[in-house]
Amino acid sequence: MDAKTKDYLFDKLLYQIEKPGRYIGNEWNSINKNPEDVNIRFAFCFPDVYEIGMSHLGMKILYHLLNEQKYIYCERVFAPWTDMEILMRKENIKLFTLESKDYIDKFDFIGFTLQYEMSYTNIVNMLDLAGVPILSEERGEGTPFIIAGGPCAYNPEPLSGIIDFFILGDGEEIILEIMDIYKQWKDSNKKKKDFLKSLTKVQGVYVPSFYKVNYNEDNTIESVEPIAEETPKKVKKRILKDLSGSYYPDKLIVPLIDIVHDRVILEIFRGCTRGCRFCQAGMIYRPVRERTVEELLDTTQKILDSTGYDEISLSSLSTGDYSYLTGLVENLLERYEKDKIGISLPSLRIDSLTLKLLDDVQKVRKSGLTFAPEAGTQRLRNVINKNVTEDDLMGSVNAAFDSGYSNIKLYFMMGLPTETMEDIEGIAEISHKVLGDYYKLLKEKRRKGISLTVSVSSFVPKPFTPFNGNPKIV
């Protein structure tokens, strides 16, 4: 974006939209470099609005990791909200980064993180707004490489005409290797195809243009064949073998506006062994790898010092399964209780909750608790391998009520394989039961009344799960 357009953006356009804070950047701990001083410019695009993208842990890790390399400048891009998009299209302003406000069509890489399929249309829209041809085959030499990673990259075919290459597995394990190969390629003056070809040899990279996909009559995939002999038949994901001691940023960007998760996010482990049959994350992030308590405490101190946050969220797929959870919580409380820094546990399994843990975490601040029974009857919970019983749920909920919690969320899914109306009605029944148990409490324990949120989302069969694309298979 030239200086005149930038002035116009700040002086006129941002006044006309709902949340200018989504686009102005310059937040605390955001990184500004001189583009002239780097070899590689990387636009990290989150295909959703700022508030959602800024809450995403993967973006925080990769943004800081890339920017710690002197030769790379990684900048953030989010999907503009409709009010901003209308103005951008009207005023011929292309998609720009939050850091330099430069347009991304001349960057080396435009990287998308694929968290959910519903964001795919945003990817198309963002490329269109960026003035970059949407289909790979229409992007010639001198255009950016469009790349993608994240859980949905494990099923790359829907975007294979758009994305030049996909990264499978832990991004921080592979991204710098790719950047190194790119740097050499850029100095060599070779064609884009040569760079892509060299990537086919890197474990964890899938380059669709080097494969032929054959379809069955019902549009399911029959086979995926490499088109060159030296291209591997199977692409294996990249795994960060030892999470402990691996890169984790000690600074996080502090947003200027409210975002979904505005706190210290501390990743305590990766992976989950529970094996719920619908859960893609449980399958693709295996094996379980834990960080040590010592390093978590050290990282926490650094992030608190650099951000000023007053809440720490212990993040993972199933936080209650962390081997040293009690010790970690006790240590955090010992250090930070006096400063009124709260702890939140966002992803607890119903059967992993203990009264002691509940009592501990609510010492500073009592946030809500979320439980995910996922299905309304025991029969269906057994089908999906969610090995929790109604007694587990009621036991945990009652323990939470006893500890003074009154803000409870219950997550369910509908459309699960073998589901009947009985299972759907079971969702209402179990929710009423939770409500009923609250009112069985003594009046003085009930405080201000209960807030119970029952969330029911549609089941989406995910690749690499036992329900892989065919909900009839049980």
Binding site for ligand SF4 (CB under 6 A): 272, 274-276, 279, 281-282, 317-318, 349
Long-range pairs for 422-431: beta carbons < 8 A, 24 or more residues apart: 422/376, 422/377, 423/375, 423/376, 423/377, 423/379, 423/380, 424/376, 425/376, 426/375, 426/376, 426/377, 426/380, 427/375, 427/376, 427/454, 427/456, 428/376, 429/376, 430/373, 430/376, 430/390, 430/393
Smallest distance from ligand SF4 to CB 347, Å: 7
CA distance 25 to 316: 28
- Please, what is the minimum distance in Å from the beta carbon of residue 278 to ligand SF4? 7
Can you say how many angstroms the Cα of residue 20 is from the centroid of all Cα atoms in its chain? Answer: 24
CB of 415 to ligand SF4, least distance (A): 16
Measured from the CB atom, the residue of 87 and 460 that comes closer to ligand SF4 is 460
What's the closest the beta carbon of residue 329 comes to ligand SF4, in angstroms?
19
254 with 308: CB under 8 angstroms? yes
Residue 441 or 454 having the CB closest to ligand SF4:
454
Least separation in angstroms between residue 412's CB and ligand SF4 is 12
DSSP letter, residue 238: B
Helix (H) or strand (E) holding 58: helix 57-67
Backbone torsions φ then ψ of 97, nearest 5 degrees? -85, 160
Minimal CB distance to ligand SF4: which residue?
282
Looking at the Cβ atoms of 271 and 342, the one nearer to ligand SF4 is 271
Q: Which is nearer to ligand SF4, 105 or 423 (CB)?
A: 423
Nearest distance from residue 126's CB to ligand SF4, in Å?
A: 29
Neighbours of 108 (CB within 10 A): 18
